[in-house]
Structure 1
């Protein structure tokens, strides 16, 4: 049986109006199965041009749009929690304000959630300026067993692609305020709570990578967030002492190597999941 669902789209002052319009249209107007409502979270004040774009999208949308206006920019996790609280449906699909959904995205993902999954992601295609020109892709693990195994060492979901059950997300505490790693921490809590998880290998979202994408994956700020995350994983029993140590060395080291090496490692190890060979 088909269930209604909410599209959750956070926006902040740094987003471009033209990118936002493309993200919205691709995820609403152009979808074979449209969301039943859209919740846009305005994470703090925005400029007049972006505000006008939000008003225009809401006015011209073929489905109802609710704009949740937060007084200050509090970060992605709190913004998403505010959007989840405002959503009118239990099934919620994520979308970022500068990406592009494939037209059949929700027609593929929603039946999997309706069949019993609590969290479903997909592959994604990376692009720079032109969404039609692929510069890379991220293919996640697909079976529940592989997802759970990979989650101890790396994020098994592409966050901009996920569709989830709000009830379970809120049951485990929501996204919270854990900057840079809020999604990975949430997946871990959901998996520990027994979430039924799945991924579609097919890329269903086109993900915009801007200048400095690889630089932003490194540096002291990312290292501090990584170490905080690994401490939290160990404290909650998500990783063993050996796994935690391995993650600090490997994932922490990844944050500190030169950008050229980080780019190479990302392309060969992080972006494309290679399923284990069957015996």
Structure 2
């Protein structure tokens, strides 16, 4: 029986890419996302931590086998026997990472080649704990570089001012410090909003933050994206998170009412109107 390959322990300052995958992902997109976040980077990560959230189909397992064979560089695979959801998958991965600097990546978006180099440099020079960047949308009908931009406030104080109204970071483009995230409890289960809740706890806990103006991730937008962002289940998560913000002192009763009114209008609008609303409201709230 062949002994498992012993991976070298990453050095201080090196980066781990953390990527979850589940049965709903598509093998060809998964393989492209993996390559973009690892071997296609100008400064490849020290390691990839791939979290498998429950059973996968044959096509996805074939890509995982490539990961285990080293096709995407040094990697470790963390498996959950049953589908547990994104928050639990990411928490498993966060706990498994061996570097303090972690770059989040999704299994269908594409990182631009300079992403890790630019973000790592900014993290170190700015003494940052939490950093994201702009993203640009693409789809099967819209090529990379041709879609709408998604931006967020750049400076730390602007981010703090923006936090009560909307998530100030793009999750697929985030780089964070593992120690800072774990100190506030890491990812906790909250449907669709586990990232926003983590940012709130990190920032209230004193995390230093910024956003880069450069587009470092191409964000895949399929036909159903905005349809999935609506409905009662999403609004219930909104309600829970806004109550947490109120209890934490981030917002007062007036902002609570205003935020819930805005989110109700957004969640219960038709999908086509929700797309327009995102462009006109969220992207212009800065």
Q: 2:275 aligns with which of 250, 263, 268?
A: 263
Which residue of structure 2 aligns with residue 47 of structure 1?
57
**1:74 shift after superposition:** 0.6
Equivalent positions of 1:100-119 (< 5 A) are 100-115=110-125, 116-119=127-130
Q: 1:194 aligns with which of 178, 185, 206?
A: 206
**1:109 shift after superposition:** 0.5
Any idea what SS the aligned residue of 1:242 has?
Answer: helix
Deviates most, 106-115 or 95-104: 106-115
Query: CA offsets, 1:185-224, max 9 Å, x none?
Result: 0000011001101001211000111121111111111111
1:179 and 2:191 are equivalent in the alignment: yes
TM-score (norm: length of structure 1)? 0.94
TM-score (norm: length of structure 2)? 0.92
**1:273 shift after superposition:** 4.5
1:142 and 2:147 are equivalent in the alignment: no
Unaligned runs of 5+ in 1: none
Runs of 4+ in 1 over 3 A off after TM superposition: none
1:31 and 2:77 are equivalent in the alignment: no
Which residue of structure 1 aligns with residue 87 of structure 2?
77
Q: 1:67 and 1:131 mapped to 2: Cα distance? A: 31
Which residue of structure 1 aligns with residue 69 of structure 2?
59
Q: 1:70 and 1:131 mapped to 2: Cα distance? A: 34
Equivalent positions of 1:225-236 (< 5 A) are 225-236=237-248
Say if 2:134 and 2:170, in contact at 8 Å, map to a contact too: yes
Q: 1:168 and 1:207 mapped to 2: Cα distance? A: 26
Say if 1:122 and 1:203, in contact at 8 Å, map to a contact too: yes
Say if 1:123 and 1:137, in contact at 8 Å, map to a contact too: yes
**1:18 shift after superposition:** 0.6
Query: CA offsets, 1:152-194, max 9 Å, x none?
Result: 1011100000000000100001111111110000000011001
RMSD: 1.5
Q: 1:217 and 1:207 mapped to 2: Cα distance? A: 15
Which residue of structure 2 aligns with residue 224 of structure 1?
236
Say if 2:138 and 2:220, in contact at 8 Å, map to a contact too: yes
Say if 2:136 and 2:145, in contact at 8 Å, map to a contact too: no
Q: 1:215 and 1:246 mapped to 2: Cα distance? A: 23
